[in-house]
Amino acid sequence: MALEFLYSQPVKIRFGCGSRGELSTILASLGVQRCLVVCDRFLRPTAEAMQKDTPRIAAIFSDVEENPQLKGVTASVRLIREHNIGAVVGIGGGSTMDTAKFAAAIAGESDDPLPYFKGERPFSAARLPMIAMPTTAGTGSEVTQVSVMSNGKEKKTINNPVFMPTYAIVDPELTLTVPPRTTMNTGLDAMAHALEGYWSKHHQPVSDLCAIEAVRLVLENLETAYRDGANLAAREHMSLAALLGGLSFALPKTAGSHACSYPLSEDYHLPHGEACAFTLDSFVKINTDERLETLCRRVGLSGTDELADRIRALKALGGLRVTLSDLGEVDLDKLAHDAAIHPLMQNNPVAMDEAALKRMFAALQ
Ligand SMILES: NC(=O)c1ccc[n+]([C@@H]2O[C@H](COP(=O)([O-])OP(=O)(O)OC[C@H]3O[C@@H](n4cnc5c(N)ncnc54)[C@H](O)[C@@H]3O)[C@@H](O)[C@H]2O)c1
Ligand SMILES: [Zn+2]
Q: Which of 175, 202, 218 is the last residue of a domain?
A: 175
Q: How confident is the model at residue 2 (pLDDT cuts 50, 70, 90)?
A: confident
234 plus 117 within the same structural domain: no
Domain total in the chain: 2
Is the residue at 3 inside a domain? no
Q: What's the pLDDT tens digit per position in 151-178? A: 998 889 999 999 999 999 999 999 999 9
Cβ of 91 closer than 6 Å to ligand 1, yes or no, is no
Q: Which of 144, 175, 206 is the last residue of a domain?
A: 175
Is the residue at 36 inside a domain? yes
Instruction: Give me the pLDDT at residue 7, please.
Output: 97
Q: Please return the burial class of 239, using the count of CB atoms within 10 Å of its CB with bins 0-12, 13-18 and 19+.
A: buried
Q: How confident is the model at residue 1 (pLDDT cuts 50, 70, 90)?
A: low
Instruction: Give me the pLDDT at residue 343, please.
Output: 96
Mean pLDDT of all residues belonging to the chain? 97
Cβ of 135 closer than 6 Å to ligand 1, yes or no, is yes
Q: Is the pLDDT of residue 199 over 70?
A: yes
Cβ of 239 closer than 6 Å to ligand 1, yes or no, is no
Instruction: Give me the pLDDT at residue 222, please.
Output: 98
- DSSP conformation class of 59: E
226 plus 165 within the same structural domain: no
Measured between alpha carbons, how far is 201 from 162 in angstroms, rounded to an integer?
24
CATH number of the domain to which 259 belongs: 1.20.1090.10
Among protein residues, the one with the nearest Cα to ligand 1's atom 6 is 139
241 plus 164 within the same structural domain: no
- Name the E strands within 71-115: 87-92
242 plus 114 within the same structural domain: no
Cβ of 141 closer than 6 Å to ligand 1, yes or no, is yes
Going from the Cα of 357 to the center of ligand 1, the distance in angstroms, rounded, reads 27
H/E element, 15: strand 12-15
H/E element, 77: helix 70-82
Q: What's the pLDDT tens digit per position in 52-85? A: 989 999 999 999 999 999 999 999 999 999 999 9
pLDDT more than 90, % of the chain: 96
Among protein residues, the one with the nearest Cα to ligand 1's atom 20 is 66
H/E element, 44: helix 44-53
CATH number of the domain to which 49 belongs: 3.40.50.1970
Residue 2: count of CB within 10 angstroms of its CB: 3
201 plus 153 within the same structural domain: no
Among protein residues, the one with the nearest Cα to ligand 1's atom 30 is 178
Is the residue at 105 inside a domain? yes
Q: How confident is the model at residue 138 (pLDDT cuts 50, 70, 90)?
A: very high
Is the residue at 4 inside a domain? no
Instruction: Give me the pLDDT at residue 154, please.
Output: 87
Q: Supply the pTM of this predicted model.
A: 0.97
Q: How confident is the model at residue 312 (pLDDT cuts 50, 70, 90)?
A: very high
Q: Which of 139, 160, 175 is the last residue of a domain?
A: 175
Among protein residues, the one with the nearest Cα to ligand 1's atom 3 is 141
Instruction: Give me the pLDDT at residue 224, please.
Output: 98
Atom of ligand 1 lying closest to residue 189 CA: 6
Q: What's the pLDDT tens digit per position in 217-274? A: 999 999 999 999 999 999 999 999 999 999 999 999 999 999 999 999 999 999 999 9
Is the residue at 103 inside a domain? yes
Is the residue at 7 inside a domain? no
Of all ligands present, the nearest one to the C-alpha of 149 is 1
111 plus 51 within the same structural domain: yes
255 plus 311 within the same structural domain: yes
Is the residue at 1 inside a domain? no
Residues 153-190 as b/e (b if ≥16 CB within 10 A, e otherwise) read eebebbebebbbbbbbbbbbbbbeebeeebbbbbbbbb
Owning domain of residue 259: 180-362
Going from the Cα of 193 to the center of ligand 1, the distance in angstroms, rounded, reads 14
121 plus 245 within the same structural domain: no
Q: What's the pLDDT tens digit per position in 270-301? A: 999 999 999 999 999 999 999 999 999 999 99
Q: Is the pLDDT of residue 144 over 70?
A: yes
Is the residue at 93 inside a domain? yes
Measured between alpha carbons, how far is 37 from 197 in angstroms, rounded to an integer?
30
Q: What is the mean pLDDT of residues 336-350?
A: 98
Of all ligands present, the nearest one to the C-alpha of 259 is 2
> Residues 11, 133: contact at Cβ < 8 Å?
no
Instruction: Give me the pLDDT at residue 126, please.
Output: 86
Q: Please return the burial class of 15, using the count of CB atoms within 10 Å of its CB with bins 0-12, 13-18 and 19+.
A: middle
100 plus 131 within the same structural domain: yes
144 plus 25 within the same structural domain: yes
91 plus 38 within the same structural domain: yes
Q: What is the mean pLDDT of residues 313-327?
A: 98
Cβ of 244 closer than 6 Å to ligand 1, yes or no, is no
Measured between alpha carbons, how far is 105 from 22 in angstroms, rounded to an integer?
24
Measured between alpha carbons, how far is 353 from 158 in angstroms, rounded to an integer?
24
Q: Is the pLDDT of residue 326 over 80?
A: yes
Instruction: Give me the pLDDT at residue 153, please.
Output: 83
- Name the E strands within 139-264: 146-151, 154-159, 167-170
Cβ of 165 closer than 6 Å to ligand 1, yes or no, is no
Cβ of 149 closer than 6 Å to ligand 1, yes or no, is no
Measured between alpha carbons, how far is 61 from 55 in angstroms, rounded to an integer?
16
167 plus 305 within the same structural domain: no
Measured between alpha carbons, how far is 71 from 76 in angstroms, rounded to an integer?
9
